[in-house]
Each structure stands twice: as C-alpha cells, then as structure tokens.
Amino acid sequence: MQELTHYLNGEHVKGTSGRFADIYNPATGEVQAKAPLASAEELNKAVEIATAAQPAWGAVNPQRRARVMMKFVHLLNENMDKLAEAISREHGKTFPDAKGDVQRGLEVVEYCIGAPELLKGEFTDSAGPGIDMYSMRQPLGVSAGITPFNFPAMIPMWMFAPAIACGNAFILKPSERDPSCPLLLAELMEEAGLPKGILQVVNGDKEAVDAILDHPGIASVGFVGSTPIAEYIYGRGCSNGKRVQCFGGAKNHMIVMPDADMDQAADALVGAGYGAAGERCMAISVAVPVGDETADRLIDKLKPRIEKLKVGPYTAGDDVDFGPVVTAAAKEKILGLVQSGIDQGAELVVDGRDFKLQGYEDGFFVGPHLFDRATPDMDIYQQEIFGPVLTTVRAGSYEEALKLAMDHEMGNGTAIFTRDGDAARNFANRVNVGMIGVNVPIPVPLAYHTFGGWKKSAFGDLNQHGPDSFKFYTKTKTVTARWPSGIKDGGEFNFKAMD
C-alpha cells in the first residue's frame, strides 16, 4: 500500500509520528493509501524551514515573484489531467468536476501575476514643509492554510498563491482524505522557480492544526471547513495573536419567483444541488418557490430531471453526473438526515436511499434525493447536509422567501430566479448573505473579486482571493520622511547644510 509523505524544504519526507490516516477509493470503499499525521515536532520543523527561507523570498521584487506565478500557470495547464486524476481518485468527483477544481484555483494564480500592481503603496508629496509620506505593503512572514477535502486543488491555491505572491512562506495542511493533489502542487511550484522551503505541505489531523494555531512563528492562518471548526480555529488563532480568516458551512437558498423561466430554474437547481454530489459550500441545498402554483410547476420540472441523473465512478467518464461522497461516515450522515426529514414530515419526492451500483456495492454512493413541503424547523433545513439532497420550502410571498434566507444562521450564498429587475435588485440589496446570484445558481465570484460569506459562514474581516487576499497577507507600514533643505535663496546647493 502506498504511504504518502510530507513535503518539506523541497523534499518528500516520511512521517515520524507513527500515526496515519487511511485514504479511500470512494467508488470501491477500499483503502488505497495512507497519509502520515504530523506531530507538533514535525510541524515545528516545517516552521523552522519556512522562517529561514522567507526573508530572502520577501526581498525578491514583486515582478520576479509574479514570474514564478506565470510559470506555475503554464505548469498547471500542462499537468491538468494529472492533477484532476489525483483528485478524482481520492475524492471521487467526476473528471470534469476535478478539472474545474484545478481551473478555479488556476484563475486565482493568474490574478496573482498582478502582484506588482496589487502591492503598490501610496505616496503624498509635500504633506508638510519638506515632508513626504508613503506606505508600503510588506509580507507577514510565515502563513498557514488548513484546507478541506472537497476542493483539494482550488482552495489551497486560493490561499498559498496570494500569500506567496506577497512574499510570505506558506505551510499547507490539506485534508488527510485527499492530499495527493496538494503534494503535486508543491512540486509544481518549485518547478516554476519557487525557492525551497517557501511552500511546504504537512499532512495531519487536529494535532497538527493545534500546533499551527499555537506556534508563535506563524503569523496568519486561513481555514475552510465546517462552521463549528471554523469558530474553534478563529477563536484559538486570534487568542494567540494571529491574523485569522475562517470560512464555515452554508445553507444556500434559491428563491424561484412566479415569473421565472421554470426550465431554466430547474436546470440550475439540478446542476447546483447535485453537482459534485452536493459536496460544495456553494451548492444550492434549499429551493424556495414563491406560491403553491410556482412550487407545483417547479417540482414537476425537477422530478424527472433528478430521476435521470447518472451516478457512478469517475472512471465512467462523461456518462456520470456525479460520483460517490468522500467517506462511509459522510454517506451515513447524509442518509441519517434524509431519514430525519421523513420522520419530521417532509415529503420525499425522489428517494435515493436504495441506490446501488453493480460492481461498486461497497462504494460510498448516495442516490439523489428531493424533498418538498419541508419547514424551517426541520433538521434537513437547519443543517448543512453536504450531499445530493435538495430541500424545497414553499413560501407564500416574496417577503416570506426573503425572510427564510435572512433568518438562517448561515449566509454564504443565495440566488433569485426572476424576470423582474426590481425584485432582483431589491433582493440583492436587502438579503444578508455574502454572495448573491441573479439567475445564476452558484454565485462564486471570479478571481479578481473576493469570495466570502456572512453570519456563521465566515469569521474574520477579509475575504478570500481578489484584493482582500493581498490585504490579508500583508501588513502596511507608513513612512513620514523629512529632508532638511540644502538650497540657498539664490538656488545654489549648500552641501554643508546636509552634513
């Protein structure tokens, strides 16, 4: 069985803790590899290496750092299939989905090529008599990222690309469920010209996470995962004086107005709700049709589409709409929440509980589910299911639909489908959610804008990627300079005045 490594100082290094996590093939349920789980001592070693390497990298001018990013983009395109295959093999998502994972990370790397522009400070000439003022953006030092299983390429690149472009060293703690792609990314960064020790990968679990949060040599921490862990990391990291940004769970609503194109809305819900088996923080998991007539029309459109979805392993190619979920525990949690929805009185319109795939009976496959007539007090509405389950909550009016999205404790993304510009504008202005889609079901901003939710979906003042990332990974220094004048009234320069 393959035993993976850490990646320290440009080398693959075996774990020394004696602890390992099993890496499964989600399609078969078989253990295919083991990932080492780092001790605090191993994490300390990574910090020592990063601390020694960072000053020289921070002194490299931004244009030269940008050239490394340019080369990295080339290597990402060149190795796209290799990276996607590593993701699909360990995560289970379809090959096109895995390539999309890499592509959305690549786009942030492309944005970071603009580091020379993004790191420019401000200057004021003659702020006072003979006084100039200017500001500089300087790197924090050593940063760390704790990333989730569902996007093993995209989210690491969302973190380490801007951090490194700003002149920091970066320690990545990827999910222990699918760490092969992050290890490949570190190799490609060094092939692109990044000095050894600037990007390191330390595999681990809570012990490694706590070591990151407590280490005085780490200046900032980024995290993406569930809300309870986001709250924990944010609190512990901040209490240790670190700059921290944490992104948690989601319960994304899609409001469907009576005037919406029902075919368009149904297609959007199927793609946004069931793509990647629902294992996306921007998945639409709640449909909110306004009025019973709208709801009936929407369910009539959704039911046959969902029943036709094809579930299978990524090796089946384009014939598969989505693959298995990542672990047996994830499957058990999803099916437990489905059962709670039935027990609490929701109507199960499409039942995927008995889904089986011949030859893959031990895989972590979950069939698609569709609930109708759910209510806000039900577990399937309150909790993030993170699986192929779409819940429909009928609203009697636009205001009731808006209130559902606003009252939920999570506020990552939301969408409205309508032909009415006034309704769309009202919704976008009033709803207390971080990312809004208007006739767009998954409103993930492009790399040159910022990504981040509100309420219990995000903790910290700055978002991921875009301009916010360059603010998060730098600190501002402002200089006030005064130079005594050595010029006489006649215009002759007096060098003695400058002695």
Q: What are the DSSP calls for 328-360, one per residue?
A: HHHHHHHHHHHHHHHHTT-EEEE--TT---TT-
pLDDT band at 436 (very low <50, low <70, confident <90, very high): very high
pLDDT band at 440 (very low <50, low <70, confident <90, very high): very high
Prediction pTM value: 0.94
User: Which own/partner contact pairs does 421-426 have at CB distance under 8 Å and 24+ positions apart?
Assistant: 423/257, 423/398
Instruction: Convert the pLDDT of each residue in 20-70 to its tens digit.
Output: 999 999 999 999 999 999 999 999 999 999 999 999 999 999 999 999 999
Residue 103 has pLDDT above 80, yes or no: yes
Residue 197 has pLDDT above 80, yes or no: yes
Partners of 220 in the β-ladder:
143, 243
Cα 351 from Cα 333, distance rounded (Å): 16
Residue 495 has pLDDT above 70, yes or no: no
What topology is assigned to 2-248+457-479 in CATH?
Answer: Aldehyde Dehydrogenase; Chain A, domain 1 (3.40.605)
pLDDT band at 318 (very low <50, low <70, confident <90, very high): confident
Residues 6+ apart with CB under 8 A from 360: 27, 28, 312, 313, 324
Residue 498 has pLDDT above 90, yes or no: no
Partners of 11 in the β-ladder:
8
Residue 488 has pLDDT above 70, yes or no: no
What topology is assigned to 252-438 in CATH?
Answer: Aldehyde Dehydrogenase; Chain A, domain 2 (3.40.309)
Mean pLDDT of the chain: 96
Instruction: Convert the pLDDT of each residue in 105-164 to its tens digit.
Output: 999 999 999 999 999 999 999 998 889 999 999 999 999 999 999 999 999 999 999 999
Specify the length of the chain in residues.
499
Active site residues: 281
Residue 14 has pLDDT above 70, yes or no: yes
pLDDT band at 485 (very low <50, low <70, confident <90, very high): confident
Give the pLDDT confidence score for residue 487 in this predicted structure.
Answer: 65
Instruction: Convert the pLDDT of each residue in 352-397 to its tens digit.
Output: 999 999 999 999 999 999 999 999 999 999 999 999 999 999 999 9
Domain assignments of the chain as residue spans, ordered by start: 2-248+457-479, 252-438
Give the pLDDT confidence score for residue 441 in this predicted structure.
Answer: 95
Instruction: Convert the pLDDT of each residue in 423-433 to its tens digit.
Output: 999 999 999 99
Measured torsion, CA atoms of residues 337, 343, 344, 348, in degrees rounded to the nearest 10: 70
Does an H or E element contain 139, and which?
Answer: strand 131-139
On whether the CB atoms of residues 287 and 295 are closer than 8 A, the answer is no
Give the pLDDT confidence score for residue 317 in this predicted structure.
Answer: 82
Residue 202 has pLDDT above 60, yes or no: yes
Residue 478 has pLDDT above 70, yes or no: yes
pLDDT band at 483 (very low <50, low <70, confident <90, very high): confident
On whether the CB atoms of residues 406 and 431 are closer than 8 A, the answer is yes
Cα 178 from Cα 476, distance rounded (Å): 36
For range 186-200, the mean pLDDT: 98
Fold: same for 2-248+457-479 and 252-438: no
Give the pLDDT confidence score for residue 390 in this predicted structure.
Answer: 98
Residue 490 has pLDDT above 90, yes or no: no
Structure tokens of 438? 């208007």
Residue 298 has pLDDT above 80, yes or no: yes
Question: Which H, E and C letters describe 265-334, residue by residue?
Answer: HHHHHHHHHHHHHHCCCCCEEEEEEECHHHHHHHHHHHHHHHHCCCECCHHHHHHCCECCCCCHHHHHHH
Residue 247 has pLDDT above 70, yes or no: yes
